[in-house]
Amino acid sequence: MAAKKTGPAESKTTSTSTIVGRQEITKSIAKRSGLTQKKAAEVLEATLTSIRESLEQGQEVRLVNFGSFKVRRSAARQGVNPRDRNQKITVPARERVRFSPGKELSNAIVKK
């Protein structure tokens, strides 16, 4: 697909949305901070690792003006087997990561 410029990071365009990956975020961090792309990649990786480790320990990660990440437990429930719609199955309980955007991020996304 054709690449499309959207702000400081280049992104790939799909039929339904624009996807920004690690490489584009790394380039944006490097440009905004004056770091090399290698250092920016290290900073991004360290940030993501810190968030992941905190969530693994059951901690909430709150980034003011951006949003918060929480681990939530979903209850077990009854479902339907997608291969055999007549067969009931039990979907087990599991932990999920939930992201709640902060007010500033929500306001930036909402078209005014």
Whether residues 43 and 96 share a domain: the answer is: no
37 has pLDDT over 50: yes
Strand 18-19, strand 3-6: pairing = unpaired
The count of structural domains within the chain is 2
Q: How far apart are CA 38 and CA 20, in angstroms?
A: 18
Task: Please give the pLDDT value at position 12.
Answer: 58
Query: Based on the domain organization, do 23 and 35 belong to the same domain?
Result: yes
For 49, the domain range is: 1-59
Q: Are residues 76 and 95 in the same domain?
A: yes
Query: pLDDT for 4-20, tens place per residue?
Result: 444 455 555 555 679 99
Distance, CA of 52 to CA of 21 (rounded, Å) = 17
Give the CATH number, domain containing residue 111: 4.10.520.10
Do 20 and 38 belong to one domain? yes
pLDDT, tens digit, 9 for 90 and up, residues 49-108? 999 999 999 999 999 999 999 999 999 999 999 999 999 999 999 999 999 999 999 999
